[in-house]
């Protein structure tokens, strides 16, 4: 089984979901995407995660991000679970949950790690760009819930650095100063970064976030 790496094309697939059948690439369209897996339906940590994602709908929409969840259970089970999620998390799940009973998608994305569990998916996260390339992967153990504030932060960084010649430093959040990438010469800085910059070391040059007014 091939391991997916950053920059690889996200494998396409057709699948049944709680919102009908989808072709993954067509469903993504020109959007960014998050595909994340869950060990099984009716599991406690996953219930809180899916509820959190539903509550973050506006934040994902602002960033042009579509979200799809996956578990190895079927659509009927998913629908029953959604009722529990909506009730216990005080929200409304409004994104598709993929049914992967035959493990087809799980295997495409290497979501089953036999040393953790031979049948159930680990908590995989894939962030996919509009070019259908994988921009980020994170794998959590089944016992640890994901931090969706961190995923929003990472997407802010990915979207910024995709279009501007900057990188984001440790613990960076939207609105904070960025690092000018080493390939930019000092002579190019005034045109690329008219807000100015601060040189801490020749290789460490900071500038205000360039895509903010």
**Residues with a known catalytic role:** 46
Residue 91 tokens read as 């929200």
Contact between residue 13 and residue 108 where contact means Cβ atoms under 8 Å apart: yes
Give the torsion sign (CA, 123, 60, 42, 12). Answer: negative
Within a 10 A sphere around the Cβ of 166, how many other Cβ atoms?
24
SS3 43: coil
DSSP state of 45: H
Residue 63 tokens read as 């960033």
Give, in order, the Cα–Cα distances in Å from 21 to each of 2, 13, 50, 100: 26, 10, 20, 12
DSSP string covering 114-165, please?
TTT-SSS--EEEEEE-TTSBEEEEEEE-TTS---HHHHHHHHHHHHHHHHSS
Least Cα distance to 209 among 155, 170, 173 occurs for 173
């Amino acid at each position: 089984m091939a391991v997916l790496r950053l920059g690889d094309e996200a494998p396409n697939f057709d699948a049944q979901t709680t919102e009908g059948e989808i072709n993954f690439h067509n469903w993504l369209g020109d959007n960014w995407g998050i595909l994340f897996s869950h060990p099984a339906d009716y599991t406690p940590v996953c219930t809180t995660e899916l509820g959190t994602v539903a509550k973050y709908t506006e934040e994902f929409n602002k960033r042009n991000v579509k979200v799809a969840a996956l578990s190895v259970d079927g659509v009927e089970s998913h629908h029953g679970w959604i009722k529990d999620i909506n009730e216990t998390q005080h929200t409304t799940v409004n994104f598709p949950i993929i049914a992967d009973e035959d493990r087809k998608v799980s295997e495409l994305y290497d979501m089953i790690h036999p040393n953790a569990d031979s049948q159930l998916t680990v908590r995989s996260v894939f962030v996919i760009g509009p070019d259908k390339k994988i921009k980020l992967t994170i794998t959590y153990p089944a016992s640890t819930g994901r931090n969706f504030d961190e995923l929003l932060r990472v997407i802010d960084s990915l979207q910024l650095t995709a279009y501007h010649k900057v990188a984001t430093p440790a613990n960076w959040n939207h609105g904070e100063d960025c690092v000018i990438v080493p390939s930019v010469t000092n002579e190019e800085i005034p045109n690329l970064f008219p807000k100015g910059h601060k040189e801490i070391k020749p290789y460490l040059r900071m500038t205000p976030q360039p895509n903010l007014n």
